[in-house]
Amino acid sequence: MRGTSARLTGFRYTFPAMRGVQAGREYYVLLCPLKLLPKLFLFDEEELPPNLRAQRTLNRARVPDIARYLVENQGSYVLSSLTASVDSKVAFEPLGDGDVDYQLGRLVVPMSARFVINDGQHRRAAVEAALKQKPALGDETVSIVLFQDAGLRRSQQMFADLNKHAVRPSRSLGVLYDYRDPFAGLAREIAETVPAFAGMVDIERTSISNRSRKLFTLSAIYQATGALLGQSASARRRRIDESERQFAVEFWTLVSEVIPDWLAAARGELHPHELRRDYIHAHAVALHALGIMGQNLAANHPDDWRDRLQRLRGLDWSRANSSLWEGRTLVGGRVSKAYQNVLLTSALLKEMLGLPLSTDEAKLEEGFAGAARVR
């Protein structure tokens, strides 16, 4: 990889670099081999109090997922630039005197220089972990936006500025654009092919606005389908076989027939706003609970689950039925998305279909029954 590696020459590093100016200060964009990152950036600030650090402490729970992504996608991973500061004088050697050549060249950094990451410490830690599994990654490069260190106060301000306006994409948009996750692909297929969902799914937002004409979000379908196939979020990178795909599409199609209000909304006969206002089944908590129930139903009744599902036709989903839903799916009259409310809702659905409850559902149901007796 000629021309893209840093070299250690005479107790100094030499990087291919570009030079630019921001806020009147020079900065540099370097190409750094991945194998050099752990040597340049050391975590020696973790024991300091926050007011003496230039970054947040490392959340090591995030590192394995990023490292796994790098290892499992060697042919297609994307690693965004790190932003860092260096505490010593550096020398930029331009290629020439022309407008372009003056901005391109080599950056010479003393080996004794101290580098501090202002943004990207979890990527750096993940690279170190990934290199232990795949050393060949070490010859690939990542770009580093490097600033001259102007002291702790300036580094802390850089961290604040870099993170102040950072906004994570919505979960629905993440599902829409994710082609590595088989469950994301299945959620997109369900949103497009199940009659009650086609044209009624918000594929960009994570929450439905009050007057939206959409019924559910793509992220809600993704979560509910993961529960339907018995997979936690951390396990959803596995392959989905054809039988699972067919089951998921058929299940949601049949649920749509059991809850005809969904199809009425898709036909334009009911406004989704009215369903959200008046019924439990038009909320993501119910969709998630249906997925949990569906997994249990198919596991316990593989041959007649379709017939048993029809028992849900007799369920009163009306929010006005507070004796049934208050404390279970409603808290103070408002729909709750808390996981315990999801489980309480799935417990009710299972009881209607004569299905066994999980340990957590049984405990919550016992507490709900005790609270109901007090009321």
- Do residues 4 and 96 lie in contact, with contact meaning Cβ atoms separated by under 8 Å? no
Contact (CB, 8 A) for 105 and 41: no
CA dihedral sign, ordered 196, 201, 207, 212: negative
> Is residue 52 over pLDDT 60?
no
Phi, psi of 340 (to 5 degrees): -65, -30
What does the pLDDT look like over 225-237, one tens digit per residue?
999 999 865 555 5
CA distances from 268 to 215, 257, 261, 272 (A): 11, 16, 10, 9
Contact 318, 257 (CB under 8 A): no
Domain ranges of the chain: 7-164, 171-374
| pLDDT at position 51 over 90 | no
Q: What percent of the chain has pLDDT over 90?
A: 63
CA distances from 85 to 119, 123, 146, 244 (A): 10, 16, 5, 50
Q: 98-137: per-residue pLDDT in tens?
A: 878 889 999 999 888 888 888 888 999 999 999 999 999 9
Pairing of strands 201-202, 104-110: unpaired
Q: How confident is the model at residue 179 (pLDDT cuts 50, 70, 90)?
A: confident
**The most confident of 56-60, 88-92, 272-276, by mean pLDDT:** 272-276
Provide the pLDDT confidence category of residue 343 given band limits of 50, 70 and 90. Answer: very high
Q: How far is CA 360 from CA 32, 231, 363, in A?
A: 49, 17, 5
From CA 229, how far away is CA 252, in angstroms rounded? 12
Residue 276 confidence (pLDDT) above 50: yes
Q: Under DSSP, is residue 164 helix (H, G, I), strand (E, B) or coil? A: helix
Asked whether 122 and 129 are in contact (CB, 8 A), the reply is: no
Q: What one-letter code names the amino acid at 206?
A: T
pLDDT averaged over the chain? 87
Is the distance from CB of 30 to CB of 107 less than 8 angstroms?
yes
Average pLDDT of the residues in 44-48: 50
Report the range of poorest mean pLDDT among 15-24, 61-70, 164-173, 291-300.
164-173
Residue 127 near residue 81 (C-beta atoms within 8 A): no
What gap in Å lies between CA 204 and CA 214, rounded to an integer?
11
Do 18 and 29 touch, CB atoms closer than 8 A?
A: yes
Coil vs helix vs strand at 90? coil
DSSP-assigned letter for residue 16? E
Give the 3-state secondary structure percentages of the chain, helix then strand then coil, rounded to 5.
50, 15, 35
